[in-house]
Structure 1
Amino acid sequence: MDTTVFITPASTRPGLEVARCAEVPGWWRALVVLLCGVLFWGAVFARTPAVLQSELQRDADTLNLSARVDLVAPAAVQDALLKGVPMYFVWRAEVYRDRWYWSDKRVSTQTRTLRLAYQPLTRRWRLSVASDPGAASSGAGGLRYALHQNFDELGDVLAVIGRVARWPIADAAHMDRSDRYRVEWSFRLELSLLPRPFQIGMANDPDWNIGVERGLDAPADAAEEDAPPAVAPPSTALPPPAPVAVEAAPLADAIR
């Protein structure tokens, strides 16, 4: 029985694939590189507010954070606010205990969520503070608000949003005086709480990537060092009587 074997070469034109790649116009390749660069640099050059204050205070009861950032709303954010879309800003602070034998242990986490909305009828800005920040994980609908305040100017309300003063972030009673602690805090515009259509494509838009992070070493327990000096109780002893000056009588009267 005769057996015929047919062998077909994979390609009768060597370098055909390379030639096809070479047929791609140069301007098309340049456009792809440009788009990739825009996406990359858009994520890098996010809007980072300047940090004007960042410090910790520790007393006998709590560890407190005081921070202030120069918050400015870009034009895209202002336009969305004027169209009735609320914005959510989140402060977050985490306290870690140093461990030389393992990764640092997180001992406390605090979150503060603020909602900013524009009221077209009154032309005022309304700021609300969430009473249960942990409910933000279930979306904006799960937030409940306890404090509300109205502002006439956008700059005034942004100044309030961009600062915290003596914010309790940890219970000092649960912090061992012999250990070292570090605080990492962050402030950002929370995009995950915005309506779904607004979240598309925002991850690489620098106008919407508003956020800043900082780290601080917690001060040692200085309750005794910072205590005011002891003041001696007032004395109950009466002061000695003042000497009474006796005027000498004239010599002539004394003789009489």
Structure 2
Amino acid sequence: MVFITRCCRREWPEKALRALCLGWMVLFGVPAQADTATDILQYQVERVDDEVLLSAQIAFELPSAVEEALLKGIPMFFVTEAEVLRERWYWSDKKLSVVERHIRLAYQPLMRRWRINVTAGPGRDTSLGLALTQNYESLADALAAVKRVSRWKIADVPDLDGSPKYRVNFSFSLDLSQLPRPFQIGALGQSDWDIAATASSVVSLAPFK
């Protein structure tokens, strides 16, 4: 009897969250499904002196559900991640470097401006690196900055192991884990919120002669 009672207590909060989620979806005009596509264009990894730099252009259309949420004051968080690995035929690839960049996009109704905060950690965490803040007059301009990765330092060559070639994996995604709880539940299985893409390449980081 005690075991059954505990199970019931665990079920009701989930049902309540789902009901609340449906209310939020109606309030913010979230449609059931939408076709979205995210691509990574102009992907390039290069060595400049002793730094490994990554550049890319991400292409995607902001779904109406996400734009509606932004206009209602809900910030969106995008994450770019790059990892440098040494391929090993006898074992799993050895991970040599992993870096992240978290981009917070928010609308400021009073100023009618869009603000982007870029940090090396989630949210407003600046402990992993300096934060960059930039304001934009339009959503299009702000999104252009979100979609552009320009000469991002992802590793220092002296910190690598001297292999002739490395594999570099790059990913870009909308981080649903930082949304309010009702949105997290409502976004599950919804293509409106599926903004994600990956790219990978094998590169030589030998210095130019």
TM-score over 0.5 for the pair: yes
Of the three residues 106, 115, 125, the one matched with 1:126 is 115
Residues 72-125 of structure 1 deviation map (CA, whole Å, 9 limit, x = unaligned): 211000100010000001110011101122110000001000101101111111
AA at the equivalent of 1:183:
V
RMSD: 1.8
> Does residue 146 in structure 1 map to residue 131 in structure 2?
yes
Runs of 5+ unmatched residues, structure 2:
1-32
- Conserved 8 A contact 2:38-2:196: yes
Which residue number corresponds to residue 96 of structure 1? 85
Measure, in 1, the Cα distance between the counterparts of 2:192 and 2:125: 25
- Conserved 8 A contact 2:40-2:198: no
Matched residue count: 174
> SS state of the match for residue 158, structure 1?
helix
Residues 188-209 of structure 1 deviation map (CA, whole Å, 9 limit, x = unaligned): 0000011111101312101101
Which structure has more relative contact order (CA 8 Å, sep 6+)? It is 2
**Over alpha carbons, which structure has the higher Rg?**
1
> Does residue 57 in structure 1 map to residue 49 in structure 2?
no
Alignment of 1:136-175 (within 5 A): 136=122, 140=123, 143-144=125-126, 146-175=131-160
> Does residue 190 in structure 1 map to residue 172 in structure 2?
no
Counting strand residues as a fraction of each chain, which structure ranks higher?
2
Taking a change above 3 Å as real, the CA distance of residues 143 and 175 of structure 1, as seen in their structure-2 partners, is closer
Measure, in 2, the Cα distance between the counterparts of 1:148 and 1:59: 26
Runs of 5+ unmatched residues, structure 1:
1-41, 225-256
Measure, in 1, the Cα distance between the counterparts of 2:171 and 2:150: 15
Measure, in 2, the Cα distance between the counterparts of 1:149 and 1:220: 32
Which residue number corresponds to residue 186 of structure 2? 201
Which residue number corresponds to residue 47 of structure 1? 36
Which residue number corresponds to residue 27 of structure 2? none
Alignment identity in percent? 46
> Does residue 180 in structure 1 map to residue 165 in structure 2?
yes
- TM superposition score normalised by structure 2: 0.77
